[in-house]
Structure 1
């Protein structure tokens, strides 16, 4: 049987001294530069080295701090998630450290932000991102428990608590059908732009198909051009509703419609998703309101369970005779737990019946 990697192996792989590796794992990285810390953890990950958290005192040292990686706090959905995650963490005596990536990045900034959080030696980290694949997130973490929050995830090794976007897409399709629409436009974006947008619109289009509604895909990006394309398609193809993947796109469409003299909903209806922006009730936007507070509370509660499980796993590894503890990012037997919570449909004046000409 091949022997388990040791601190000496990690030191050679990382090109640092054994004492540096020891400080990383025994003293929580004290007096170790951030670059060296990330290098050592990367080497440990490549070798499959799993340190005993109890023996090192890492679980106790990591204290009460948790990390949160966000996609873009200027988006109301992420901004509300940021606030509710802080509130949920504080309710459990935790401190939340957050890093925000750029809205239109390709995922590189998200991975860099995750590395910065791990470099600050948080006890656990939440990834509320929209682009980076779960596989890439999993490769970033070694001993730090990680959970995806607020976005679709089915990775077998990464826990998640997210919004039920499949149900949201179906609900919106059913609301559109209830008003009598039979030909609509669906603004779509590439998967790498937003996994949330992709899941919402795929679910909406699939349910429309079941209900006998024709959904014409219209390219969303760039947004200011995509909404114009949708309005033109509605005119040329006799489409009576435009489904937007998020509220800020629906608001952009309302602006473009106003500039062109297109009346909403008398000539064409529109809907969005998120339901979190200030003033949406005044505009009467038909949307789906996300259960942000519920997701935040459930995610923080589940992270507490994961931290306890990590400590117990380390204790089990210490008691075992010669067997190295296994790397775990989720529950042992059944795989990672994926919890989805539905929001609620918010009716609005922007979704009305088709115009008489239709």
Structure 2
């Protein structure tokens, strides 16, 4: 039995009644093709089951319309939401986004390999939405294309970034905790290698605690299953009235451990966290900082468009977006 032949660009052109070059332009950017011709080409492609070769179209179009996204562990709601919003922003801008995921705990090697794969696809620019690989490695791996760091701390003068203002978030959390009368708190911390975001959030909370004369005790988070239990023990032994978690999934693990031992969260000890993106947090009543993911994605895509359109390199920009604090029953009064 002979396998069915894959439809080609020529087949689409014949079915749509246009030239092959018109079909090519539609799948590159569509900018110079009339709306009627675009509709005819896309309907013909859908009818024939034609799938454009994105790598080839990227080469033909100078790669300007095809961008790459390296995302870390899309099972984490913060990265999952960022992944979705970046694809929405790309679609709105008429571009294609190709994404590669490096899972948690694979650290820098998998992320660098993912970047190399994206650049091998001849993308016009790369977004790096990860929390581990250092700026030196990023710059070395992506020097050939415009690169933008997303959602993580970055002050490297060679790398563009559109990030969450985690320093402001940490200070925001401490101010909310202090406003409810808490004067002895625990702050779960993790090594810089584990997450630059976690590290900055924790340091910002501790820094603001010193300014507000709040006694803050750093507590080792790792491994998470043991760290949350140690935090509950420390709250009991040291009279801590609130525990600050670096991310919501850690806070949820802490709530589970508290339920097992019969600790009343919000009454016996308060819990506050960061991200605010997982489904059901409003039902749980977790007090957290909600990240402005959609605003960050729109800004990043717009800025990449400016970089690609500029006749000469633009000055490196480091943009910050602050989120909002979401009150919840897990943060009670001291």
TM-score, with length taken from structure 2: 0.81
Aligned position for 1:237: 238
Partner of 1:320: none
SS in 1 for 2:279: coil
Instruction: Please say if residues 59 and 123 of structure 1, whose CA atoms lie closer than 8 Å, have aligned partners that are also in contact.
Output: no
Residue in 1 aligned with 2:327?
A: 347
- How many Å separate the matches in 2 of 1:134 and 1:63? 24
Deviation at 1:63, TM superposition (A): 4.3
The answer on whether the counterparts of 1:155 and 1:336 sit within 8 Å (CA) in structure 2 is no
Partner of 1:12: none
4+ long deviations beyond 4 Å: none
Q: Which residue of 2 aligns with 1:206?
A: 207
Show the counterpart of 1:74: 75
Q: Which has the higher contact order (CA 8 A, sep 6+)?
A: 1
Give matches, 1:1-358, under 5 Å: 60-309=61-310, 312-313=311-312, 331=314, 335-354=315-334
Superposition deviation, residue 143 in structure 1:
2.4
CA distance in 1, matches of 2:322, 2:143: 31
Runs (5+) with no aligned partner, structure 1: 1-56, 314-327
**8 A Cα contact 1:65 1:122, kept in partner:** yes
Q: CA deviation at 1:142?
A: 2.9
CA contact (8 A) 1:150 1:161 kept: yes
* Aligned partner of residue 351 in structure 1, secondary structure: coil
Q: Structure 2 CA distance, aligned partners of 1:106 and 1:87?
A: 27
Equivalent in the alignment of 2:48:
none
SS in 2 for 1:185: strand
Where do 5+ consecutive residues of structure 2 fail to align?
A: 1-57
- d(CA) in 2 for partners of 1:61 and 1:105? 33
TM superposition score normalised by structure 1 = 0.76
Q: Residues 197-245 of structure 1: CA distance to partner in whole angstroms, max 9, x if unpaired? A: 0111100111011111111011001100000010000010000000000
**How many angstroms does 1:58 deviate by?**
6.2
Equivalenced residue count is 277
Partner of 1:11: none
SS across alignment from 1:174: helix
CA RMSD of the aligned region, Å?
1.2
Distance 2:97 2:107 in 1: 25
